[in-house]
Amino acid sequence: MITTNKPVYTKAEIDEMTYFDLIGVVRETNRPPGGAHSIRRIAQSAMLNPQSKVLEVGTSTGFTAIELARISGCHVYAIDINEESLAEARIRAKQYGVEDKVTFCKQDATAMAFEHESFDMVFCGNVTSYMDNKEKVISEYCRVLKPNGYVAAIPMYYIDTPTTEFVHRVGKAIGVNLTPNYRQNCLDYYQVEPLDICWLEDYQFDNIEESQVTKYVDELTQREHLSALDMPASEALTNKYSEYMHLFRENLAMMGFTLILLRKEPVKIDKELFTSTMIVQPTARKSSGK
């Protein structure tokens, strides 16, 4: 998506940018793990409707907030700390015709300026994984959530074990002091009262070809709004964005994610003992006729 405002940055400024900084510069359509499919599954499972009031934490350029409003008609308040990304999100909401249903604002998730019990759902995607004080931010989710409302989380975690050096590279790219998470670590974050896991689905990222990553980088870094950059800045942007995308390709090939809905229980009850797991039947292979 192309907008009219043209950014002007120096090579030195771009060299210092993390991936999250670059999202706003290139105006990347930043999606949650699983993209639109994850958003639809959560919206359906939480039974969102035009009367629902949703908070999205870490909206970036607004994809999730806009998609939730488009598919369910709900009202979304979406927060982020990056002004450049929020500016792009507002433009996109208007282009999609949902600017009356989505409100974007700059806020810190650890101290949100919303009243108690304001929302039917808090959608936090994978953003909680990047926060140092997870206990505090999850308590904020609970504070602004109505009783019987949902926290929708999509934590990412390693299926294969990465090296310490590799995790450090990923953490430096996103500007976070990263420690490797595994599935149970992520579930444990949310095992706090009054939240109770009521639905989840597990997924694994596809192993994307390097040529697809290269094509994607070329398309985004050649957008018209970046033409105001001088040659050194333009080359620095392309090189850094390419470096990040290829690093993330390698990283995500080792990772999975889980769609989780946690309900804010108004009454404390005993945990379910006899749980069950959905059986996925293998697809029969077609005969070759030989």
Report the chain's terminal Cα–Cα distance, integer Å. Answer: 50
Query: Helix %, strand %, coil % for the chain, to 5?
Result: 40, 20, 40
At residue 259, the 3 state secondary structure works out as strand
The arithmetic mean of pLDDT across residues 95-111, rounded, is 97
Quick check: 286 pLDDT over 80? no
Query: Alpha-carbon distance 118 to 2, whole Å?
Result: 34
Q: Categorize the per-residue pLDDT at 147 as very low, low, confident or very high, splitting at 50, 70 and 90.
A: very high
The predicted pLDDT at position 270 comes to 83
Q: Write the CA distances from 287 to 101, 146, 284, 290, integer angstroms.
A: 51, 54, 9, 8
Query: What is the tens place of the pLDDT at every residue in 170-205?
Result: 999 999 999 999 999 999 999 899 999 999 999 999
The predicted pLDDT at position 284 comes to 55
Q: Quote the percentage of the chain above a pLDDT of 90.
A: 88
Quick check: 1 pLDDT over 50? no
Query: Alpha-carbon distance 42 to 38, whole Å?
Result: 6
Query: Alpha-carbon distance 191 to 259, whole Å?
Result: 15
Containing H/E element for 264?
Answer: strand 255-264
Quick check: 55 pLDDT over 50? yes
Q: Quote the percentage of the chain above a pLDDT of 70.
A: 94
Containing H/E element for 77?
Answer: strand 75-80
Query: What is the tens place of the pLDDT at every residue in 235-285?
Result: 999 999 999 999 999 999 999 999 999 999 999 888 888 888 878 776 654
**CB of 250 within 8 A of CB of 205?**
no
At residue 80, the 3 state secondary structure works out as strand
Containing H/E element for 151?
Answer: strand 145-153
**CB of 28 within 8 A of CB of 220?**
yes
The arithmetic mean of pLDDT across residues 211-239, rounded, is 96
The predicted pLDDT at position 275 comes to 82
Q: What b/e string do you get for 198-227 counting C-beta neighbours within 10 Å, with b at 16 or more? A: eeebebebeeeeeeebeebbeebbeeebbe
The predicted pLDDT at position 3 comes to 47
Quote the tokens at residue 78. 């979406």
DSSP state of 126: T
Q: Chain-wide mean pLDDT for the chain?
A: 93
The predicted pLDDT at position 22 comes to 96
Sign of CA dihedral 286, 280, 67, 256: negative
The predicted pLDDT at position 290 comes to 41
The predicted pLDDT at position 272 comes to 82
Query: Alpha-carbon distance 268 to 249, whole Å?
Result: 42
11-264 CATH fold: Rossmann fold (3.40.50)
Quick check: 289 pLDDT over 90? no
Radius of gyration of the chain (CA): 20
Higher local confidence (pLDDT), 208 or 274: 208
